[in-house]
Amino acid sequence: MPAKQNPIRLSSRFSGPYRWVLYIVYSGAIGVIVYSTFGRGWFYAVSQSVLYGWIFFLLIRMTVKFQEVYFDDEFLYVSKKQQDYLIPLENIESVEIESLGGVYKINLYQAEQLGKELYFKTSLIYPLNYKVKDALVNVFRSKIDHAKIRKREFPRNALMS
């Protein structure tokens, strides 16, 4: 049996502080937009505040779902503060890029405790080092393909309930 390899970090190690910086930036941007629209009338101010508020709400909702993600030959490891989760690579349907900033989305065949999809950001400076990070994501995709091909063998006396 080959030796177990250490998991490879797929997400940025600064995803926690990055999330809080984004919350502050989004809150400041919506505050500036709301403040600048009050001089033009109430209807314009309310309509612009609702429009940009909705956009920032969608951005914050995606930011909340950022996870710390590691992988090896058999599992995807999702690290949270309270608990770590193991997801077999066979359960991963696809890995696709979600935004130009380097946010990736992992779609699962069956919902786990974290849901049916996970988000992670590969690097804080993604557009500058996209070749290295995309190569790492391609290695992850190839591990997923190998795991789907590889058949799990259960002992003959295992209970399948």
pTM above 0.85, yes or no: no
Residues 19-47: pLDDT tens digits? 888 888 888 888 888 888 878 888 888 88
Residues 91-114: pLDDT tens digits? 899 999 988 888 899 999 988 888
- Of 42, 64, 86, which residue constitutes the final position of a domain? 64
Q: Are residues 78 and 134 in the same domain?
A: yes
Q: Are residues 140 and 73 in the same domain?
A: yes
Query: Which pLDDT belongs to residue 49?
Result: 86
- Taking the CA atoms of 133, 135, 141 and 144 in sequence, report the sign of the dihedral they define: negative
Q: Are residues 92 and 33 in the same domain?
A: no
CATH of the domain at 86: 2.30.29.30
- Band (pLDDT 50/70/90 cuts) for residue 6 is confident
Provide the 10 A C-beta neighbour count for residue 31: 10
How many domains, the chain?
Answer: 2
Query: Which pLDDT belongs to residue 110?
Result: 87
Average pLDDT over residues 134-155: 85
- The Cα 128–Cα 146 span in angstroms is 30
- Band (pLDDT 50/70/90 cuts) for residue 151 is low
Residue 4 in this model has a pLDDT that exceeds 80: no
- E-assigned strand segments in 2-160: 8-9, 68-71, 75-79, 84-88, 92-97, 103-112, 115-121
Segments forming the whole domain that contains residue 20:
15-64
